[in-house]
Amino acid sequence: MKELLLLKYAPEIFLKGLNRNTFEKKLKNNIDNALKGLDYEYVTDSGRTLLYSENFNEIIDRLKKVFGITEICIVTQVEADMDSIKAQAFKEVNDSFCSTFKIETNRANKKFVLNSMEVSRAVGEYVLNNVDGISVDIHNPKCVVNVEIREKAYVYSKRIKAQGGLPYGINGSTFLMLSGGIDSPVAGYLMARRGVDISCVYYHSHPYTSERAKEKVKELARILKEYTGHMKLCVVPFTDIQMQIMEKCREDELTIIMRRFMMRIACALAEKYGVNSVTTGESIGQVASQTMESLVVSDSVSDRPVFRPLVSMDKTDIMSLSRQIGTYETSILPYEDCCTIFVPKHPKTKPKLSDIEASEAALDIDNLVMQAMETTEIFFL
């Protein structure tokens, strides 16, 4: 008898046809990277991936943040015979102190003498006759005991929910505009959960935004790194650009022109580092720069796809997810970012592209972008 961790992969991985091996190989590499420095070994049995270690708690904490795993089950490996299975099922139910239970069986080993239904019935009857005060409830049981019969048998009732999604790094790459607020870290998490490799760009307006604001963004990037395993953060000096816009453009167009510069720089960084796309934390209609018209004008300077995973989400839903992934408490620290300074009293909510381009004609756009790129700081967190 031996305790192991059974890793259940996201069902979507099994729908990848001839690419399934590529997804599974990527996920295994990500698991190995997440568990670096810990002692563990793989146990394989008829297509199942299990892990053995004497340090389960640390292993589970790390695996819970690996995209592509939906569930981690603490299983007991026993001999594939009915006496061993019944004894372990009895222990699972008895230790749970539940009033109702159910047995679910998966018989992958077709040579086993009983089919799945017969195993569940026999094990259930044994538990019912030997645990005091217990009853069967197949619709809403307090305790579900799973029995998997392969070369060995695996019995378990303890399941830990993991992140799901697709293996990180399997679906291209993106530059995330990380502002320091609540929304953009959540957008980064959602893209990473779909297997997209994330790098971050932050626009720093020193001395109007403080070093503490920059440290806050670095901390947010570090939290995202707990899910991704690595993180590159580009900190772009943005003050000169904002001052030029303030001096030479209409006051009500400040925000939309600023957003267009951010998009240009994100695309330039993506080109420099071979990144496929840009991601923002914008949600439709949340502020003036996030109206449909404003988003169209911002996107017109992009030379690659712009993803907005929060576009249809309410603020309360975004805040809830932020708490869930651990970024909320850092995001609400009261340090201003470049988007909250130099804010016009009445920003345009329905900008026309021709008007914005006419206003930008007063600016040396290429030179401003080039200077920002040349003075960008790079952090590998």
CATH number assigned to the domain comprising residue 124: 3.30.2130.30
> What integer is the mean pLDDT of 274-279?
98
Task: Mark whether 80 and 184 lie in a shared domain.
Answer: no
Q: What pLDDT, in 10s, does the model give residues 51-63?
A: 999 889 999 999 9
SS3 per-residue string spanning 307-338: ECCCCCCCHHHHHHHHHHHCCHHHHCCCCCCC
Task: Mark whether 183 and 131 lie in a shared domain.
Answer: no
Q: Is residue 234 part of a domain?
A: yes
281 is known to lie in a ligand binding site: yes
Task: Mark whether 299 and 182 lie in a shared domain.
Answer: yes
Handedness of CA 288, 292, 293, 297 (dihedral sign): positive
Strand pairing report for 153-161 and 143-149 = antiparallel
Q: Is residue 106 part of a domain?
A: yes
Q: Provide the domain count of the chain.
A: 2
Q: Which of 161, 185, 220 is the last residue of a domain?
A: 161
Where on the phi/psi map is residue 216: left (φ > 0), alpha (ψ -120 to 50), or beta? alpha
Region of poorest pLDDT, from 58-72, 219-233, 259-273, 287-301 = 287-301
> What integer is the mean pLDDT of 244-267?
94
Q: Which of 119, 134, 161 is the last residue of a domain?
A: 161
Region of poorest pLDDT, from 242-246, 324-328, 345-349 = 345-349
203 is known to lie in a ligand binding site: yes
Q: How far apart are alpha carbons 78 and 91 in whole angstroms?
A: 13
Identity of the residue numbered 330:
T
The residue whose two tokens read 């200077």 is 371
Query: Which has more pLDDT, 337 or 276?
Result: 276
42 is known to lie in a ligand binding site: no
Q: What is the CA radius of gyration of the chain?
A: 27
Q: Which residues of 287-309 are buried (b: 16+ CB within 10 A; e: fewer)?
A: ebbbbeebbebbbebbeeebbbb
Task: Mark whether 153 and 195 lie in a shared domain.
Answer: no
Task: Report the 10 Å Cβ neighbour count for 169.
Answer: 20
The residue whose two tokens read 């959602």 is 190
Identity of the residue numbered 6:
L
Reference 234, options 213, 256, 218, 255; nearest CA is 218
Q: With cut-offs at 50, 70 and 90, classify the pLDDT of residue 338.
A: low
Strand pairing report for 306-307 and 277-279 = parallel
Q: Is residue 190 part of a domain?
A: yes
Task: Mark whether 63 and 37 lie in a shared domain.
Answer: yes
Which H or E run includes 123? helix 116-130
Q: Which residues of 330-369 are buried (b: 16+ CB within 10 A; e: fewer)?
A: bbeeeeebbbeebeeeebbbebeeeebeebbeebebeebb
pLDDT above 70 (res 340): no
Structure tokens at 286: 């949340």
- Number of separate helices (H) and strands (E) present in the chain: 13, 14
pLDDT above 80 (res 349): yes
Which H or E run includes 200? strand 197-204
- Please provide the size of the chain in residues: 381
Structure tokens at 252: 């009500």
Q: Is residue 122 part of a domain?
A: yes
Look at residue 53 in the predicted model and tell me its pLDDT.
92
1 is known to lie in a ligand binding site: no
Q: Which of 113, 132, 161 is the last residue of a domain?
A: 161
Q: What pLDDT, in 10s, does the model give residues 10-23?
A: 999 989 898 999 99
Q: What pLDDT, in 10s, does the model give residues 25-35?
A: 999 999 999 99
Task: Mark whether 222 and 101 lie in a shared domain.
Answer: no
Look at residue 211 in the predicted model and tell me its pLDDT.
86
Task: Mark whether 95 and 192 lie in a shared domain.
Answer: no
> What integer is the mean pLDDT of 249-276?
95
Task: Mark whether 153 and 186 lie in a shared domain.
Answer: no
177 is known to lie in a ligand binding site: yes
pLDDT above 70 (res 292): yes
Task: Mark whether 348 and 274 lie in a shared domain.
Answer: yes
The CATH number given to whatever domain includes residue 372 is: 3.40.50.620
Q: Is residue 168 part of a domain?
A: no
pLDDT above 90 (res 286): no
Identity of the residue numbered 122:
A
Kindly report the CA angle at 164 between 161 and 169, in degrees rounded to 5?
140
pLDDT above 80 (res 146): yes
Look at residue 339 in the predicted model and tell me its pLDDT.
65
Strand pairing report for 135-136 and 197-204 = unpaired
Separation of CA 2 from chain center: 32
Task: Mark whether 288 and 364 lie in a shared domain.
Answer: yes
pLDDT above 90 (res 308): yes
Task: Report the 10 Å Cβ neighbour count for 199.
Answer: 24
Structure tokens at 312: 């249809």
Q: With cut-offs at 50, 70 and 90, classify the pLDDT of residue 46.
A: confident
Q: Is residue 228 part of a domain?
A: yes
Look at residue 347 in the predicted model and tell me its pLDDT.
82
Separation of CA 208 from chain center: 32
> What integer is the mean pLDDT of 145-158?
96
Mark out the alpha helices in 249-364 (DSSP H runs). 254-273, 292-299, 315-325, 328-331, 353-360
Q: Across 18-99, where does the E strand assignment appear?
A: 41-45, 48-52, 69-78
Q: With cut-offs at 50, 70 and 90, classify the pLDDT of residue 207.
A: confident
Look at residue 125 in the predicted model and tell me its pLDDT.
96
Task: Mark whether 80 and 152 lie in a shared domain.
Answer: yes
250 is known to lie in a ligand binding site: no
Q: How far apart are alpha carbons 57 and 86 in whole angstroms?
A: 27
Task: Mark whether 106 and 190 lie in a shared domain.
Answer: no
Reference 75, options 157, 149, 175, 136; nearest CA is 157
Q: Is residue 314 part of a domain?
A: yes
Q: How far apart are alpha carbons 367 and 264 in whole angstroms?
A: 12
Q: What pLDDT, in 10s, does the model give residues 174-194?
A: 999 999 899 999 999 999 999
pLDDT above 90 (res 287): no
User: What 8-state DSSP symbol labels residue 154?
Assistant: E
Look at residue 55 in the predicted model and tell me its pLDDT.
87
Q: How far apart are alpha carbons 197 and 167 in whole angstroms?
A: 10
Domain that holds residue 139: 2-161
Q: Is residue 167 part of a domain?
A: no
Q: What pLDDT, in 10s, does the model give residues 74-130?
A: 999 999 999 999 999 999 999 999 999 999 999 999 999 999 999 999 999 999 999
Look at residue 47 in the predicted model and tell me its pLDDT.
79
Q: How far apart are alpha carbons 99 and 132 in whole angstroms?
A: 9
254 is known to lie in a ligand binding site: no
